[in-house]
Amino acid sequence: DTEVTQTPKHLVMGMTNKKSLKCEQHMGHRAMYWYKQKAKKPPELMFVYSYEKLSINESVPSRFSPECPNSSLLNLHLHALQPEDSALYLCASSHGLAGEQYFGPGTRLTVT
Give CA–CA dist 17/40, Å, rounded. 27
Count of CA atoms in the C-beta half-sphere (13 A) of 91: 29
Q: Residue 23 interacts with another protein (CB under 8 A)?
A: no
What distances in angstroms separate CA 103 from CA 61, 63, 90, 106, 111, one per listed residue?
A: 23, 23, 7, 8, 23
| Residue of 21, 64, 68, 106 that binds another protein (CB under 8 A) | 106
Choose between 12 and 15: whose C-beta lies nearer to another protein. 12
Residue ranges in 2-21 that form contacts with another protein under rule CB under 8 A: 2
Pair 22, 75: CB distance under 8 Å: yes
Q: Residue 104 interacts with another protein (CB under 8 A)?
A: yes
Choose between 1 and 16: whose C-beta lies nearer to another protein. 1
- How many residues bind another protein, per CB under 8 A? 28
Q: How many residues does the chain have?
A: 112
Q: Residue 101 interacts with another protein (CB under 8 A)?
A: yes
Q: Residue 90 interacts with another protein (CB under 8 A)?
A: yes
